[in-house]
Every structure is written in C-alpha cells, then in structure tokens.
C-alpha cells in the first residue's frame, strides 16, 4: 500500500481541539524544513450546518472528525518523521506503531470527504490547466476522458471537452469528479 513517490492522503490523530494548531505548525515546519515537495495540503475536514435558533438562521462550522487532520503527502522517512513529531500530533491512523508507515486513505474515501467540503483531490490551482487531459471518475460521464476547456475556481467546476458519439461536446463537472491523466 505504501508507495514511494506517490502523493496520497493520510489521517493524522491530534489532541482534541488542537487541529488548527497542528495544521499551522505542520505548514510552518513543512516550509522551514524545505519539505514542500513531500508535504502538500493539510486539511481539517469541516462542514457548514445551518441552525435555526429563536427564528434566526445561523451557520455553524462543525468538524467532521474531531481530533483528526488530513495530510496530503509523499510518504518518505523524513516526511513521516516531520508530521509524526509536530507538536499536538499523537500519531497516524492506519499504522501498527513501532515505526511502521501508515496506510493511506483509499481514493473513494478521500474523494467523499473532500467533495463534502467542495474540494477535490486534484489541487486545481497548481495541478490543472486548460488543455490538460483528465478522466471523469464520477457522475453521468464516468469513465470518459476529455480535455479541460475552462476552469471555474470560485465554484469548483470545470468545463471538459469529451468525444460523445464522434462529436466534441462540452460538459460541466465538479472538480472532485475528475482525475488528471
């Protein structure tokens, strides 16, 4: 499961209530130690819920998994050590301990979590450009390939040109519905 050089998502256990602190410290350590090519995004999975109290609507941000952060990284000994030894981190989920490397989240698991947050495994701003080839991995065009025609960062949507019955057709998809080829 552990694959050198592959960027995957891992679940990191933190002291409860210290998720933001761990995220900030890990991002600072990544930069100060020059690990940007191994440790990429650190995310606290959250959802926004609307509560009505005394007739007033209030939006409340709730942690999906209190006590956990998600880290997108290439699992090397050094990257593992930096994350593991960040203040507030108690360990990785999916590791047997004794220095064993953890098991990454499955693509469908991380896709579901990120989609709930309006995000995608593909970091659109840095990994995707107009003209790139992508596979559509979800929705009515699942299994088809196409070329990125437009990127709408604000709404996390892409316009993809696909070959539909021998004719070029534009389809609108959400960012989590594609993977880069």
Q: What is the pLDDT of residue 106?
A: 85
Q: What is the pLDDT of residue 4?
A: 53
Residue range(s) in the chain whose domain bears CATH number 2.30.30.30: 126-180
**Radius of gyration from C-alpha coordinates of the chain:** 19
Q: What is the pLDDT of residue 42?
A: 95
Give the residue among 127, 14, 128 at the shortest CA–CA distance from 71: 14
Query: What is the rounded CA–CA span in Å between residue 89 and residue 91?
Result: 6
With H, G, I as helix, E, B as strand and everything else as coil, classify residue 23.
helix
What is the per-residue DSSP string for 107-130?
HHHHHHHHHHTT--SS-HHHH--T
CATH number for 126-180: choose from 1.10.3720.10, 2.60.15.10, 2.30.30.30, 3.10.50.40. Answer: 2.30.30.30
List beta partners, residue 16.
Answer: none
Show pLDDT as tens, one digit a residue, over the chain (181 residues). 344 578 899 999 999 899 999 999 999 999 999 999 999 999 999 888 888 888 888 888 888 899 999 999 999 999 999 999 999 999 999 877 667 789 999 887 888 888 777 777 776 766 788 898 988 887 888 888 999 999 887 777 889 999 988 899 999 988 878 877 7
Q: Which CATH class is domain 7-119?
A: alpha beta
């Amino acid at each position: 499961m552990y694959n050198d050089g592959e960027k995957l998502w891992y679940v990191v256990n933190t002291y409860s209530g210290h998720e933001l602190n761990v995220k900030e410290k890990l991002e600072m350590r990544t930069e100060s130690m020059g690990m940007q090519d191994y440790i990429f995004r650190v995310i606290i999975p959250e959802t926004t819920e609307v509560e009505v109290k005394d007739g007033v609507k209030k939006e409340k941000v709730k942690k999906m998994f209190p006590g956990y952060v998600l880290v997108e990284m290439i699992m090397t000994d050094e990257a593992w050590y930096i994350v593991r030894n960040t203040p507030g981190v108690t360990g990785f989920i999916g590791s047997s301990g004794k220095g064993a490397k953890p098991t990454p989240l499955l693509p469908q698991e991380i896709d579901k979590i990120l989609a709930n947050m309006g995000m995608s495994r593909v970091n659109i701003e840095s990994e995707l450009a107009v003209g790139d080839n992508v596979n559509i991995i979800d929705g009515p065009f699942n299994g088809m390939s196409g070329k990125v025609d437009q990127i709408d960062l604000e709404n996390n949507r892409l316009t993809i040109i696909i070959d539909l019955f021998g004719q070029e057709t534009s389809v609108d998809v959400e960012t989590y519905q594609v993977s880069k080829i």
